Copies of this chain bind each other. A is one copy, B any other.
Amino acid sequence: MTVKNHCQGTVETSSYRMDEPLVLESGVTLGNITIAYETYGRLNTERNNAILICHALSGDAHAAGIHAVDGRRGWWDIAIGPGKGFDTDRYFVICSNIIGGCKGSTGPSSVNPETGSPFGVTFPVITIRDMVNAQKRLIDHLGIRQLYAVAGGSMGGMQVLQWGVTYPEMVRKLVVIASCAYSTPQQIAFNEVGRRAIMADPAWNNGDYYGGEPPVQGLALARMVGHITYLSDASMHAKFGRNLQDRKNIAYDFSMEFQVESYLHHQGDTFTRRFDANSYLYITKAIDYFDLTRNGSVIDGLRKIASQVLVISITSDWLYPAYQSQEIVSGLTANETDVQYCELRSNYGHDAFLLEGGQLNYLLSRFLSHTVVRDVMINNVPTIAERASITDAARLIIEKQVNHLPVLSGDHRLVGIVTSWDIAKSVAHRHENLEAIMTRNVITTTADEPVEKAAKMMERHTISALPVVDDEMHVIGLISSEGISTLVGRCS
């Protein structure tokens, strides 16, 4: 088997303008909402191969590929693309910028249509659930009734869990990476330091800085603190040690002497060129508010989740430590939810979910891919019309060398099935039309059904083939016990 692992190619960001306003968790109604989003791969005709990717604090809709405008590579390009964990040859992958953000979706830097000026701090406080409710609108807009999966790391993982709780019937699989069921006081504390840094910067000007100089000092400082928490002690050791920057000896002054200082300043300063300080305030606040527990119980809080769940923690992540992932796993297990737990073994700290492509893609592929009926079904199945004669059916069976002939109505829907055994029966009983010998109440399957399920059905009913139909009972293929046994031989 050849492993493909390509980049998604050039991509563009789209915009969806909601018709209806959104009532936020705070009770405030927010209208004129725009959602920036990108998609990769193709939505299949059954519209059931869509995967929604949720981004973290500083992310955006540009998750994969090379952006057509600025040439940037997507933030999760290591995991999204042909042959990767989120395999765009199989799945239709969607990523949208959260509301409250500053990358095309409505947020504090957007113009308030009522005033003609940017919202600033008049923008309503939003929550993780608000972000998810906005994404739900986008998914509806794309005509998707059920998502195959929702996946994300860090704050993205919070959105994933919220999807599972708020829209349990809409998601088949959840992937929660380096995240939690509630923010801890330590996480809140770090966020509050970042907010204080921004709000203490005179340039912040109570959030009203869009006409002038933004609070770059405060935002850079917030990002520096954040960045330390995304790395690990070990990865900083490996990356910087106690190396000096551009000098050989200690200077005994307050310049940026150590490489780690220079790096942090660079990270902080770069961030101010791509992120809005007010969005930083709003998004960190949403993280702080995040708490899926009910009456202090993670079990109760996650009870509504009906999806299959993969929880991944990172060994060196001290911002979202493994015990927080394990709490999710314990809660889901107590609820008898189908949950798998894996650890990414990495020294990269919290950021490992953006870096450890190898392990991540392996875990994602294993969890997302299953062999479905589509993978082993026979396409272009010969069928026969309901009004055909038994002789016509017999000739087709011999000519096409098949054993099963789906019988279609005038509008091409499946109404029955006829087999060579039925033909033999007609000779014995001297029947002359299909109606008399064909089986009605045909047992069928769908293209996205796991193969195991189809096999069990055939065994239970002692039949050797199942027509594969779409929602409108059009026959799109046929799965036979021979096909399945070939597959089993191939896998073993």
Contact = CB atoms under 8 A, between A and B. Distances in A.
Interface string A163-196: 0000000000000000000111110111011011
Contacts of A265: 192, 196
A114 B258 CA distance: 32
Interface residues of A, number: 57
B193 A237 contact: no
Contacts of A241: 185
A360 interface: no
A22 interface: no
A182 B242 contact: yes
Nearest to A202: B202
Contacts of A121: 254
A242 B185 contact: yes
Contact of A289 (B192, B225, B250, B321): B250
A250 B182 CA distance: 15
Given A196-B224, A197-B197, A221-B200, A185 B252 contact: no
A193 B228 contact: yes
Copies in the complex: 2
Interface in A215-235: 217-218, 220-221, 224-225, 228, 231, 233
A321 B289 CA distance: 30
B189 A260 contact: yes
Contact of A254 (B193, B202, B239, B281): B281
Contacts of A321: 233
A221 B193 CA distance: 7
Contacts of A199: 254
Nearest to A281: B254
A195 B225 CA distance: 12
Contacts of A186: 228, 231, 233, 236, 260
Contacts of A196: 220-221, 224, 265
A60 interface: no
A230 to B, nearest CB: 11
Interface in A239-264: 239-242, 250, 252-254, 256-261, 264
Contact of A183 (B228, B239, B242, B288): B242
Contacts of A448: none
B228 A258 contact: no
A374 interface: no
A404 to B, nearest CB: 60
A318 interface: yes
Contacts of A450: none
A435 interface: no
A470 interface: no
Interface string A84-119: 000000000000000000000000000000000000
A6 interface: no
A291 interface: yes
A228 to B, nearest CB: 5
Nearest to A242: B291
A285 interface: yes
Contacts of A252: 25-26, 28, 124-125
Contacts of A195: 254
A237 B200 contact: no
A201 interface: yes
A193 B225 contact: yes
14 contacts: A25-B252, A183-B242, A184-B236, A184-B237, A184-B242, A185-B242, A185-B259, A186-B228, A192-B224, A193-B228, A196-B224, A197-B221, A200-B221, A225-B225
Given A125-B254, A192-B224, 5 more contacts: A192-B264, A193-B221, A193-B225, A202-B202, A254-B285
